[in-house]
A and B are shown apart, each in its own frame.
Chain A
């Protein structure tokens, strides 16, 4: 069995009978177990996974298997899974079991995929390093003294280490793209509304979007095609019809985009040190493939981080009010009053970063500060959206760095929250604008991967993925893998 196989390859192996789904699942479970020091999983779903794999094998025998039947995957531990704990990386939900499946979870289960476990994450998806997980940080398989990025760090590290071929993630300000870049894998944050948020514990509702982390563009497209689509349970999910995406499982992903115009925003490159040469080389690859490159400007880029941390904090401060020790989740010992129950359950249940964001968000929504913070941040958000709209009048895609540099060392930024927030400088703008964006590996600096980010117009996932496939056909960065057991 080939290590680091794409799901396209695994699906072929299953169809041809090279191995059964049970064998495949056992293989990955063994790898997860052998690499448990990477701490990429919070929960391993061994028994259920073997049952599901056996059922997948019967589907092959009966000839009713679909394109993704028997494919192992992992969900970020923010998606509700009926009967399996959903912790959100938090003490406050440490033992909580959802009574229902998230839409993403049941759509992928219906497609025949096999859930191997729930991946590690920063608490409630707040963080850029995985160090905010109550269950301890996942480690970067390229260098275990470094962070895998966050918040979907468990998913990215697990895929990078070959512990799972593909995993879901969520991205609010870069939480799929940044860990994908740090771990040398591909990750896509779809257009806001493309994928239902039902059953995905909310961090910042107007920004949260589920996506996929895998090795190649086709894997992302295949999983996305199953996950996406209108959901009557999510009023913000889109009814945008996309026959291209719907046909991916049958037709596969065709590399393309040779005629596109690709914009390189000045604001993203002006202070870039690490990786600038690699990104220029990647841009050059597109030029050689036939694309036209052009410099563009996204003038309000600097406003993105402050606007994001106010809006995301404001939404988080009320989204997380439900964790109050009354109805579910952690409750403090021996509360002396209702007030005491609220205060201690939340003080003891949430970690430092979550509390920091709840406090700043509460502040931003308070009488007397609302206009100066929340409303002003909304105005900045609109300016950033307009920057992109103007840019996409002239270009088809935007090429930019995913991160300011390679994965940093564990503990380097934990005492400096603002420096930690600066890590998201290149991923936050597309989140604020609700645009689809992905990161693919584009090279290495001293043995550590660097990611290239492509940002598309609303519902421009086809251009993003076809162009990424084109790049991956012309380069082999995605075929470099860390040495693991």
Chain B
């Protein structure tokens, strides 16, 4: 029998606000344990939550970017359960009335297909703290720094049919939240965490199979591998006549398998009810319009513009727009060079390779976009050769100075003085009569030898095109170049 996988994702997007969703404490990653937990986060007697307006704005931005309905009225509920890293004994979340309603996110597959993934809803909630099970032998440490960090939980429809689609959706979401500047997108620090709901059914069936939920997957690669494993596991069960049990699973990346955490035959009773400490969120149409007007150019629009206005091919345009930081870098460099293709080549080639070599992110690129732009501009105005440009790029990388300073200090200005070059060419030809003779007998390859000699004599500064021309001229003029 052929099987079809049905996949839906719930992604927790950590919003990049300056303070927590209900308190003034900082949600920054990496502080000493419990150094960023104020009385509100700890849930001391008497404290009250106050909603962070910036978190609301970010949720609205997201909703508008996926063409979703923005509900003018949403409510915060309490989700009640006991756990040591949940100090109040309840999590403040949105249950019955989320802020963002149904929307759509289009994903483009490698074969060019586009899949529209429905987004059921997105709601605001606070994160819990962290339980540290390994730091203290025989005990559990509690770090409440993460408590109250604003999350936007984005719930998709079960619209994906393969691990590749699921990971493409997760990537597209990642790209979008970074474009919107509502999340730093740092998967390793847990800024985006994904729960995958996976089931399989006979191909052609319209009923859904029993599903399992894989919790807390925090890398693109693991999303793909965990779901692939889970699909195989479920198919194996079904093909051997068994039944898939509804459960919650954990992905073990070292063994590449999912393991059951708890069965979910009885659903938990979280006793949701509206949090009486918080007022309903009312959003006016003027507010929503104002947020809409502030939206940046979205990934799809930018991709289209790079193709049509800048004339880049699909591959280059997609590569450059995949990350808004790269796209911004590219556009900043382009404003100096005016040459989209050459700029793209430099960014996708030398710059990207150097970052990769030094394990740096684009945001930490030691060569400012304007300097790379100037470097490319200097190639275009024949100040330097393409070959020397790479040397200058390496100097820029170690922050030797600006492009023009490096050119001057190192004396790398391209020799385009015809008279001077002509003299050098003559000299080379005179010194190498046997090679000249070879050329005369039709061995055109020798030309490369002469170019190399001229470049050597000029420490690479000679304009290669000009050298070529002069050589051809001189060789045509006479057997030995004597006048």
By the criterion CB–CB under 8 Å, are B45 and A374 in contact? no
| Interchain CB contact (< 8 A) of B39 among A88, A99, A365 | A99
Determine the main DSSP class of B at the interface with A: loop
By the criterion CB–CB under 8 Å, are B45 and A236 in contact? no
Write out the residue numbers on chain A whose beta carbons fall within 8 Å of the beta carbon of B84.
326, 338
Assembly CA distance A321 to B87 (angstroms): 9
| Interchain CB contact (< 8 A) of A322 among B43, B50, B51, B279 | B43
Q: From residue 342 to 397 of chain A, which have CB atoms closer than 8 A to chain B? A: 342, 362, 365-367, 370, 374
Instruction: Assess whether B276 is interfacial by the CB under 8 Å rule.
Output: yes
For chain A, the bracket of interface size reads 35 or more
Nearest 3 pairs of A and B residues by beta carbon: A321-B89, A205-B276, A365-B271
| Interchain CB contact (< 8 A) of A88 among B45, B51, B272, B273 | B45
By the criterion CB–CB under 8 Å, are B90 and A321 in contact? yes
| Interchain CB contact (< 8 A) of A321 among B46, B48, B51, B80 | B80
By the criterion CB–CB under 8 Å, are A365 and B49 in contact? no
Chain A, residue nearest B88 (CB): A322
By the criterion CB–CB under 8 Å, are A232 and B50 in contact? yes
Assembly CA distance A70 to B478 (angstroms): 114
By the criterion CB–CB under 8 Å, are A321 and B277 in contact? no
A–B complex contacts, Cβ < 8 Å, 6 sampled = A80-B46, A102-B46, A233-B50, A235-B48, A318-B271, A370-B271
B-contact 0/1 string along A314-327, CB 8 Å cutoff: 11011001101011
B124, chain A: closest CB distance, angstroms: 14
Q: Say yes or no: A93-B80 contact (C-beta < 8 A), given A205-B276, A322-B88.
A: no
Assembly CA distance A200 to B46 (angstroms): 4
Interface residue ranges, A against B (CB under 8 Å): 79-80, 86, 88, 93, 96, 98-100, 102, 197-202, 204-206, 232-236, 314-315, 317-318, 321-322, 324, 326-328, 338, 342, 362, 365-367, 370, 374
| Interchain CB contact (< 8 A) of B42 among A234, A321, A327 | A327
Assembly CA distance A79 to B46 (angstroms): 8
Q: Say yes or no: A235-B88 contact (C-beta < 8 A), given A100-B39, A315-B276, A366-B269.
A: no
| Interchain CB contact (< 8 A) of B80 among A205, A233, A365 | A365
Assembly CA distance A197 to B43 (angstroms): 14
Instruction: Assess whether B132 is interfacial by the CB under 8 Å rule.
Output: no
By the criterion CB–CB under 8 Å, are B87 and A327 in contact? yes
B139, chain A: closest CB distance, angstroms: 12
Write out the residue numbers on chain B whose beta carbons fall within 8 Å of the beta carbon of A88.
45
By the criterion CB–CB under 8 Å, are B273 and A202 in contact? no
By the criterion CB–CB under 8 Å, are B88 and A98 in contact? no
Assembly CA distance A246 to B39 (angstroms): 30
Write out the residue numbers on chain A whose beta carbons fall within 8 Å of the beta carbon of B277.
202, 205, 235-236
A87, chain B: closest CB distance, angstroms: 10
By the criterion CB–CB under 8 Å, are A201 and B46 in contact? yes
Write out the residue numbers on chain A whose beta carbons fall within 8 Å of the beta carbon of B88.
321-322
A-contact 0/1 string along B27-54, CB 8 Å cutoff: 0000000000001001111111111000
Q: Say yes or no: A318-B80 contact (C-beta < 8 A), given A327-B87, A374-B273.
A: yes
B50, chain A: closest CB distance, angstroms: 5
By the criterion CB–CB under 8 Å, are A80 and B45 in contact? yes
Write out the residue numbers on chain B whose beta carbons fall within 8 Å of the beta carbon of A98.
44-46
Q: Say yes or no: A235-B90 contact (C-beta < 8 A), given A318-B78, A362-B271.
A: no
| Interchain CB contact (< 8 A) of B82 among A86, A102, A199, A321 | A321
Assembly CA distance A322 to B269 (angstroms): 18
Assembly CA distance A232 to B50 (angstroms): 8
Assembly CA distance A200 to B48 (angstroms): 9
By the criterion CB–CB under 8 Å, are A314 and B87 in contact? no
Write out the residue numbers on chain A whose beta carbons fall within 8 Å of the beta carbon of B78.
318
Assembly CA distance A234 to B82 (angstroms): 25
B447, chain A: closest CB distance, angstroms: 79
A58, chain B: closest CB distance, angstroms: 31
A129, chain B: closest CB distance, angstroms: 23
Instruction: Assess whether B318 is interfacial by the CB under 8 Å rule.
Output: no
Instruction: Assess whether B288 is interfacial by the CB under 8 Å rule.
Output: no
By the criterion CB–CB under 8 Å, are B51 and A198 in contact? no
Instruction: Assess whether B278 is interfacial by the CB under 8 Å rule.
Output: yes
Assembly CA distance A374 to B89 (angstroms): 20
Write out the residue numbers on chain A whose beta carbons fall within 8 Å of the beta carbon of B45.
80, 86, 88, 93, 96, 98, 201-202, 322
Instruction: Assess whether B142 is interfacial by the CB under 8 Å rule.
Output: yes
By the criterion CB–CB under 8 Å, are B48 and A365 in contact? no
Q: Say yes or no: A235-B44 contact (C-beta < 8 A), given A205-B276, A321-B90, A366-B271.
A: no
By the criterion CB–CB under 8 Å, are B142 and A326 in contact? yes
Write out the residue numbers on chain B whose beta carbons fall within 8 Å of the beta carbon of A338.
84
Chain A, residue nearest B40 (CB): A233
